[in-house]
Amino acid sequence: MSILRFWAATVRLYKNMITTHAEQTQSDVRRETSITVNGSLRTLRVEPRTTLLDALRDELALTGPKKSCDRGECGACTVHIEGRRILSCMTLAAMHDGQRITTIEGLESNDSLHPLQEMFIEHDGFQCGFCTSGQIMSAVAMIEEAKAGWPSAATTDVTKPFTMNDLSKAEIRERMSGNLCRCPCYPNIVAAVAQVAGRR
């Protein structure tokens, strides 16, 4: 039974490789897409199937956003579109023509680190570092969401206005739950975020 299953899986694997190759050679339907990345206008020619993550990494050599699960489950690919945090692995580059994108490479200004980058170092917010750029990009936008009064699943009463005084550690943990760390540096990450948000 298990040999049969293994064989069936192998056949399917090869079949998929053949189909994928045929699909790849079938059409060149690349689209011209202009995006403003970290302040500079960049024009790319990408296939519709190219994710924003692949475009950033492979076309623009911005390897800060990481490709980890590639399924929207880990947060390592987090970047900002028009200032909002999103997962670049779950969207197509060609859908963002004309938009403004910020990656971790665009966070520092005048050669000095962003306060969150400083605090990640200060609080030992990482070990292997693979999730770090996603964590930091997520946290920067998350603090803005909290400042704008957005509630979260940790908010006791969503019918009341949310203020920065309500941004407890439990709130930070809930709001950062889309970023997984396997090392896992969660307490230190929360401490770094809390300090930057003025919630120590």
List interacting residues with another protein (CB under 8 A).
9, 12, 16, 19-20, 23-24, 26-27, 29, 31, 47-49, 51, 70-72, 75, 78, 84-87, 90-92, 94-95, 97, 138, 141-142, 145, 148-153, 155, 158-159, 161, 173-179
Minimum Å gap between C-beta 127 and another protein is 21
> Do 118 and 95 meet the contact criterion of CB atoms below 8 Å apart?
no
Nearer to another protein, 20 or 121 (CB): 20
**Closest residue by Cα to residue 191 from 173, 178, 177, 174:** 173
Beta strands in the chain (DSSP E): 31-37, 40-46, 78-81, 84-87, 100-102
27: which 2 tokens? 């059409």
> Do 116 and 167 meet the contact criterion of CB atoms below 8 Å apart?
no
> Do 135 and 75 meet the contact criterion of CB atoms below 8 Å apart?
yes
Nearer to another protein, 51 or 103 (CB): 51
Minimum Å gap between C-beta 24 and another protein is 6
Nearer to another protein, 47 or 105 (CB): 47
Minimum Å gap between C-beta 142 and another protein is 6
